[in-house]
Amino acid sequence: MATVSEVTYDLLRARGLTTVFGNPGSNELPFLSGMPDDFRYVLGLHEGAVLSMADGYSLVTGEATLVNLHAASGSGNAMGALTNSVYSHSPLVVTAGQQVRSTIGQEVMLSNVDAGMLMKPLVKWSSEPTCAEDVPRTINQAIHTALLPAKGPVYVSVPYDDWAAEAPPESAGLLARDVHSAASLSGDQISDLIETLESATNPVLVLGPAVDADRANAHAVLLAEKLHAPVWIAPSPSRCPFPTRHPGFRGVLPAGVADLSETLEGHDLILVVGAPVFRYHQYVPGNYLPGGARLIHVTDDGGEAARAPIGEAYVAPVGSTLEILANMVKPSDRSPLPPLGDFEEAVSVGAGLDPAQLFALVRAGAPDDAIYVNESTSTSDAFWSQMDLSHQGSYYFPASGGLGFGLPAAVGAQLASPDRQVIGLIGDGSANYGITALWSAAQYKIPVVIVILNNGTYGALRGFSKILNTGETPGLDVPGIDFVHLAEGYGVHGTAVATAEDFTTAFKSALAADEPTLIEVRTNFNES
């Protein structure tokens, strides 16, 4: 008779979850002791970095990814990073070891009290099986739940004595079971959408991360070209759903109500695909939409549709719906949009590199299909003004607003995409939240390139201090950190530069190296 552990590993293999990201404790050892040779365990030194590495890996593959944490303490350490997975719809299957089942009620050391409640309301679903025999079915439910629309993380706590128990014979049937999602818009709904698009005088497309996640960027391009419509990316984008040098590209919408409405002034139809309507940030009150505008929302997330304050919503698969619209809509007789001009020249004034010039140098030196993981939150405008993103799955940014995603996510993304170079663009404040991921990169020889933009301050906070009129407050600066020495301590080669010439040389060398590399760049801070 097979054990619960053996059946679970067979199930994980059948579902493709053979890479495990983790940081073990005593409760997890019985599960890990049975790990088959064809599984790969990626160790991280802190649970936040573990979860973000898994997040980056899952974002690139689009598949469920297994995370193994330690009881309540390890799970708690990962919860900050988990918020990003929630809003990026990453299908992470987060597991944690629980104390021996008969001792949980005593609250002995390392028991996870009310384990099923710990991760709520962050995760889609959370559970601790009621008995050892139900562990394989619960894991199977977790995987399917994570992958069903809208994708998202789930959590399962397993008492460690369950792994040695005998699995019931019917558990074998789980291996052949699958769950298919086939929801789609009706013919009448598609016809109504097409008629609305074709009859609009001045339509505009607003695209979100689900377009890129569904590998539907090409469909978005075709639809924009047939409509001769400009394209904006929804506020605070965590992915790039449209080529940034396409004639229709207009940039990223602002994250305040009044500013966003003003930006879309003059459009009678706003089609939002694969994004919330809208994920505001700065409190800039005003009218949700410009006068006379109609908004139509296509999303695979029923929660997004339900909580939106405006518009008509269609809950349906984003990729297939966009493909149908792009293929069926008639070409518009409006004039095509003119090509974009050349990149604006970026120069540095004073000590250090201006971020815009740095991004221009990165663009010039990086491979055309490079993947960028960006967590330099105060330089987003400079990034979008200088980067040429034309390939599917080229850009990832923290979806939750918290820090710590970028550096470990870049490591996970590179592990998932060995044929494309991953470049992490990380602020000095952000880097410290996930710095231990450098050790994992070194240990597993993951050739990611990490560029640290070091200006000695939390630049995004300084920007908000002006918006909120708070003046100088404690905790805005982070001086005196030597990232080269930190990197070398973790086993990663590091270089510090402060000029364009030195960066170009260091970047070329990093791209040629078959190992992880860190470049610390002294940048200036522009408060405008």
Cβ distance 220 to 242 under 8 Å? yes
**Coil, strand or helix at 76:** helix
Residue 234 Rama label (left phi>0; alpha psi -120 to 50; beta):
beta
Beta bridge partners of 42: 21
In this structure, which topology does domain 187-328 adopt according to CATH?
Rossmann fold (3.40.50)
Domain boundaries, the chain: 4-176, 187-328, 355-522
- 70 among known catalytic residues: yes
- 170 among known catalytic residues: no
In this structure, which topology does domain 4-176 adopt according to CATH?
Rossmann fold (3.40.50)
4-176 shares its CATH topology with 355-522: yes
- 26 among known catalytic residues: yes
Pick from 441, 388, 380: nearest CA to 410? 441
Cβ distance 228 to 332 under 8 Å? yes
The catalytically annotated residue of 22, 28, 56, 400 is 28
CA angle 84, 52, 45 (to 5 degrees): 140
In sign, the C-alpha dihedral spanning 73, 76, 82, 86 is: positive
At 527 the pLDDT is 47
- 89 among known catalytic residues: no
In sign, the C-alpha dihedral spanning 215, 217, 220, 221 is: negative
Cβ distance 6 to 26 under 8 Å? no
Pick from 124, 128, 123: nearest CA to 138? 128
The catalytically annotated residue of 5, 22, 44, 47 is 47
- CA distances, 61 to each of 150, 207, 277, 303, 342 (Å): 16, 21, 26, 24, 33
The Cα 371–Cα 497 span in angstroms is 22
The Cα 228–Cα 209 span in angstroms is 22
Count other Cβ atoms within 10 Å, centred on residue 105: 10
Both structure tokens of 505: 């040389």
DSSP percent split of the chain into helix, strand, coil, nearest 5: 40, 20, 40
The catalytically annotated residue of 16, 26, 266, 292 is 26
**Coil, strand or helix at 336:** coil
Could you tell me the strand order of the sheet in which 92-98 lies? 40-43, 19-22, 65-69, 92-98, 154-159, 125-127
Both structure tokens of 259: 């500013």
- 25 among known catalytic residues: yes
Cβ distance 27 to 110 under 8 Å? yes
Pick from 39, 57, 50: nearest CA to 75? 50
The catalytically annotated residue of 25, 56, 404, 412 is 25
Count H helices and E strands in the chain, helices first.
20, 18
Beta bridge partners of 269: 203, 294
Which secondary-structure segment (H or E) carries 50? helix 47-61
Cis previous bond, 72, omega within 30: no
Amino acid at position 245, single letter: R
Could you list the pLDDT tens digit for every one of the 528 residues in the chain?
Answer: 899 999 999 999 999 999 999 999 999 999 999 899 999 999 999 999 999 999 999 999 999 999 999 999 999 999 999 999 999 999 999 999 999 999 999 999 889 899 999 999 899 999 999 999 999 999 999 999 999 999 999 999 999 999 999 999 888 888 888 787 777 899 999 999 999 999 999 999 999 999 999 999 999 999 999 999 999 999 999 999 999 999 999 999 999 999 999 999 999 999 999 999 999 988 889 999 999 999 999 999 999 999 999 999 999 999 999 999 999 999 999 999 998 888 888 888 777 899 999 999 999 999 999 999 999 988 999 999 999 999 999 999 999 878 899 999 999 999 999 999 999 999 998 999 999 999 999 999 999 999 999 986 655 655 655 666 666 766 566 677 899 999 999 999 999 999 999 999 999 999 999 999 999 999 986 543
Rg (CA), the chain: 24
The Cα 310–Cα 216 span in angstroms is 25
Helices (H), 134-283: 135-147, 187-199, 209-213, 217-227, 257-263
- 246 among known catalytic residues: no
CA angle 485, 491, 497 (to 5 degrees): 40
Q: pTM for the complete prediction?
A: 0.93
The Cα 114–Cα 128 span in angstroms is 9
The catalytically annotated residue of 173, 286, 401, 489 is 401
Structure letter (DSSP) for residue 239: B
The catalytically annotated residue of 184, 281, 292, 489 is 281
CATH number, span 355-522? 3.40.50.970
Both structure tokens of 216: 């539907």
Q: At 492, give phi and psi (nearest 5°).
A: -110, 130
